[in-house]
Chain A
């Protein structure tokens, strides 16, 4: 499926890179000399999610966790899905990955296409041929993502053995390559060890190695650095960049950490209360964000280019997804809320080829209000 690494490297092209990062970030501390953000972002869509809904029936009622999410992912790019906890970003990734148990979960959509296949229409057995092979996932907490009773060698090799029919020796060779790739010293000996014999950062490297061993085309990373120390976080992010440069894998990065986003994302989708409220390139989101929620999110994060008093938390809490509001879910917290926001959810407005926002402020009538100075807070 995936082309050999060397082949990928020859086709790389330079992308607007590190120097344009809006959030100040320090020089890379990678150990390996690596091409600076040379990657193969192409126009080829690898994943198309259309109007994805996920609900869960629970003890207390039905939770509408994801309420009509639409986005595309191009080959070789990194898309960050950001939002507060409980906004549905993890559920979205689990739904793509086929990890939602049905019941209690229920998925409806107008299609989740991975290349030409609609993932929502596949049987469990067909899905297993894609899981771990074409699409892999990295979990938030490396302390719990590895099975404590199996050696990491077994956890690394079982996937390739099953999916690619490799012999034990071939699989082991492959596992050692992967541990080398993710920067674990003495891979041969380490294979025989158990997860508890590794530190958190090392474990996350192993989790990444497991995810990559079958050379997937899409990698979903669900808060891959949240559970790690800050210094380890940076190392793991460097590793992501390095791997993407080497393999051309597309990445969906689920996170609430805008620092992480600033470092490695190409495009950003901002989620709130089960909906994608704004998408755009990293540059568009950081410099010309239009949704009040996106702005609020940016203002609530410490940045080197802002003074501390300019930090503004967003008032209030996200809505109860047992009974989400019919209009814009952000309206109760929004400083620019209008009556219309409480009644109807806005249609998306395309601001550029890449930027799209769901907000009534884009309506001509609202723009007039702004000109009239109606929102003089």
Chain B
């Protein structure tokens, strides 16, 4: 297990490194690098930029300095606002986005898994068909469409929930719902199909031959095995939820990191785009690392797989 974690950890560092490098060179490779243009007339900002990116230095020195600041979690200044740094934006926006993301994940996983199990246990019955119809529809409606539909119906027309901002649990309902529907539908479908497959396995048959109670068979024998494919796609789902927060925060005017990110895209505030992209990527890759560890805990055979996976 220790070696497995170490290997994944090194993989993680490497991917973050690649992302950071890629970001740096992409930003500098553009003809008339966005960092060097006179996008701003503000002298403080110009000074901040030059100080941070060492724009007077050769590219490789700029690169090493940039990597060094990243290693100390310094993501640089903003073009638009002289007194702001990316770090300040992150400090303000990240907790809110994190809250939105975590609540979404918990709800999506719990309800998705539950729905998937119920559908599998009622295979080819009404509940199964209903759940799967719901799931296909959930997968097909993009989160931003879902968000606007929810606002229009539940906030504007029926006035049940507030349409925007992030202040109380009531404010959280619509954005979380909009963001969670897709992942929940995917998890429900996957849980169902993998549960159905696991339920045909010999060890389930053996548990039934032992006269074990159905509840225990489902939750102790089947669920853990059925969860493995779900854990495998958690990475993709997390990425989806993370990028989903961009639009959801924009639509619901939630002052999270995603909103700042979208604003920076619209303003072409390149240093902020760069900083947040690297931060987002690092965060996501770290989450994937955690997912890998969870997978290792779920599957006791992982130590064996390690050998096959190594090159």
Q: Mark A83-114, 1 if CB is under 8 A from B, else 0.
A: 00000000000000101000000000000000
Would B210 and A132 count as touching, CB distance under 8 A? yes
Question: How far is it, in angstroms, between the C-alpha of A161 and the C-alpha of B210 when the chains are bound?
Answer: 12
Q: Which of A137-190 contact B (CB under 8 A)?
A: 137, 139-141, 144-150, 158-159, 162-163
Question: How far is it, in angstroms, between the C-alpha of A125 and the C-alpha of B224 when the chains are bound?
Answer: 24
Counting CB contacts under 8 A, is B308 at the interface? Answer: no
Counting CB contacts under 8 A, is A366 at the interface? Answer: no
- Contact of B212 (CB < 8 Å), options: A127, A146, A158: A158
Would A149 and B210 count as touching, CB distance under 8 A? no
Question: How far is it, in angstroms, between the C-alpha of A272 and the C-alpha of B124 when the chains are bound?
Answer: 33
In the complex, chain A residues whose CB is within 8 Å of the CB of B208 = 99, 131
For the complex, count residues of B whose C-beta is within 8 A of A: 22
Question: How far is it, in angstroms, between the C-alpha of A194 and the C-alpha of B202 when the chains are bound?
Answer: 16
Q: What distance in Å separates the Cβ of A75 from its nearest Cβ neighbour in chain B?
A: 21
Would A147 and B207 count as touching, CB distance under 8 A? yes
Q: Which of B207-264 contact A (CB under 8 A)?
A: 207-213, 216, 220-221, 224-225
Given contacts A139-B202, A144-B203, contact A97 B209 (CB under 8 A): yes
Counting CB contacts under 8 A, is B2 at the interface? Answer: no
Query: Which stretch in B34-42, B103-111, B269-277, B294-302 binds the other chain?
Result: B294-302
Question: How far is it, in angstroms, between the C-alpha of A275 and the C-alpha of B208 when the chains are bound?
Answer: 26
Would B202 and A99 count as touching, CB distance under 8 A? no
Counting CB contacts under 8 A, is A130 at the interface? Answer: yes
Which 9 A-B residue pairings sit nearest by Cβ, starting from the closest?
A131-B211, A132-B210, A132-B211, A144-B202, A128-B211, A147-B203, A137-B209, A194-B300, A159-B210
Given contacts A139-B202, A139-B205, A139-B206, contact A148 B212 (CB under 8 A): no
Counting CB contacts under 8 A, is A207 at the interface? Answer: yes
Among residues of B, the one whose C-beta sits closest to the C-beta of A158 is B212
Counting CB contacts under 8 A, is A350 at the interface? Answer: no
Q: What distance in Å separates the Cβ of B204 from its nearest Cβ neighbour in chain A?
A: 8
- Contact of B299 (CB < 8 Å), options: A133, A149, A158, A163: A149
Q: What distance in Å separates the Cβ of A124 from its nearest Cβ neighbour in chain B?
A: 8
In the complex, chain A residues whose CB is within 8 Å of the CB of B210 = 131-132, 136, 158-159, 210
Could you list which residues of chain B lie within 8 angstroms of chain A, going by C-beta atoms? 201-203, 205-213, 216, 220-221, 224-225, 298-301, 304
- Contact of A128 (CB < 8 Å), options: B201, B213, B298, B301: B213
Other contacts beyond A136-B209, A146-B203, A146-B206: 12, CB < 8 A: A136-B210, A137-B209, A140-B202, A145-B203, A148-B300, A149-B224, A149-B299, A158-B216, A159-B212, A194-B301, A207-B206, A210-B206
Q: What distance in Å separates the Cβ of A368 from its nearest Cβ neighbour in chain B?
A: 50
- Contact of B201 (CB < 8 Å), options: A132, A144, A194, A207: A144
Q: Which of A195-217 contact B (CB under 8 A)?
A: 196, 207, 210
Question: How far is it, in angstroms, between the C-alpha of A163 and the C-alpha of B201 when the chains are bound?
Answer: 23
Question: How far is it, in angstroms, between the C-alpha of A158 and the C-alpha of B212 when the chains are bound?
Answer: 8
- Contact of A145 (CB < 8 Å), options: B202, B216, B298: B202
Would A147 and B221 count as touching, CB distance under 8 A? yes
For the complex, count residues of A whose C-beta is within 8 A of B: 29
In the complex, chain B residues whose CB is within 8 Å of the CB of A149 = 224-225, 298-300
Question: How far is it, in angstroms, between the C-alpha of A310 and the C-alpha of B125 when the chains are bound?
Answer: 55
In the complex, chain B residues whose CB is within 8 Å of the CB of A207 = 206
Q: What distance in Å separates the Cβ of A40 from its nearest Cβ neighbour in chain B?
A: 25
Counting CB contacts under 8 A, is A343 at the interface? Answer: no
Among residues of A, the one whose C-beta sits closest to the C-beta of B302 is A196
Would B206 and A145 count as touching, CB distance under 8 A? yes
In the complex, chain A residues whose CB is within 8 Å of the CB of B298 = 149
Q: What distance in Å separates the Cβ of A242 from its nearest Cβ neighbour in chain B?
A: 22
Give me 17 A-to-B residue pairs in the complex whose CB atoms sit less than 8 angstroms apart, sorted by A's number: A128-B212, A130-B211, A131-B210, A132-B209, A132-B212, A137-B209, A144-B202, A145-B206, A147-B221, A148-B203, A148-B300, A148-B301, A149-B224, A149-B300, A150-B221, A194-B301, A196-B300
- Contact of A129 (CB < 8 Å), options: B202, B211, B304: B211
Among residues of A, the one whose C-beta sits closest to the C-beta of B300 is A194
Q: What distance in Å separates the Cβ of A22 from its nearest Cβ neighbour in chain B?
A: 33
Q: What distance in Å separates the Cβ of B194 from its nearest Cβ neighbour in chain A?
A: 13
Which of B206, B221, B300: most chain A CB closer than 10 A? B206
In the complex, chain A residues whose CB is within 8 Å of the CB of B206 = 137, 139, 145-147, 207, 210
Q: Mark A31-52, 1 if CB is under 8 A from B, else 0.
A: 0000000000000000000000
Among residues of B, the one whose C-beta sits closest to the C-beta of A124 is B214
Question: How far is it, in angstroms, between the C-alpha of A62 and the C-alpha of B290 when the chains are bound?
Answer: 49
In the complex, chain A residues whose CB is within 8 Å of the CB of B224 = 149-150
Question: How far is it, in angstroms, between the C-alpha of A159 and the C-alpha of B213 when the chains are bound?
Answer: 10
In the complex, chain B residues whose CB is within 8 Å of the CB of A148 = 203, 225, 299-301
In the complex, chain B residues whose CB is within 8 Å of the CB of A150 = 220-221, 224
Given contacts A145-B202, A148-B300, A196-B301, contact A162 B212 (CB under 8 A): yes
In the complex, chain B residues whose CB is within 8 Å of the CB of A97 = 209
Q: What distance in Å separates the Cβ of B285 from its nearest Cβ neighbour in chain A?
A: 27
Q: What distance in Å separates the Cβ of A261 from its nearest Cβ neighbour in chain B?
A: 23
Question: How far is it, in angstroms, between the C-alpha of A196 and the C-alpha of B306 when the chains are bound?
Answer: 14
Q: What distance in Å separates the Cβ of B224 from its nearest Cβ neighbour in chain A?
A: 5
Among residues of B, the one whose C-beta sits closest to the C-beta of A149 is B224
Question: How far is it, in angstroms, between the C-alpha of A144 and the C-alpha of B202 when the chains are bound?
Answer: 6
In the complex, chain A residues whose CB is within 8 Å of the CB of B220 = 150, 158
Question: How far is it, in angstroms, between the C-alpha of A243 and the C-alpha of B213 when the chains are bound?
Answer: 27
Q: What distance in Å separates the Cβ of B272 from its nearest Cβ neighbour in chain A?
A: 45
Among residues of A, the one whose C-beta sits closest to the C-beta of B207 is A147
In the complex, chain A residues whose CB is within 8 Å of the CB of B203 = 144-148
In the complex, chain A residues whose CB is within 8 Å of the CB of B304 = 196
Q: What distance in Å separates the Cβ of B107 from its nearest Cβ neighbour in chain A?
A: 26
Q: What distance in Å separates the Cβ of B306 from its nearest Cβ neighbour in chain A?
A: 13
Question: How far is it, in angstroms, between the C-alpha of A150 and the C-alpha of B225 when the chains are bound?
Answer: 10
Q: Mark A292-329, 1 if CB is under 8 A from B, else 0.
A: 00000000000000000000000000000000000000
Question: How far is it, in angstroms, between the C-alpha of A99 and the C-alpha of B199 when the chains are bound?
Answer: 13
Which of B205, B210, B212, B304: most chain A CB closer than 10 A? B210
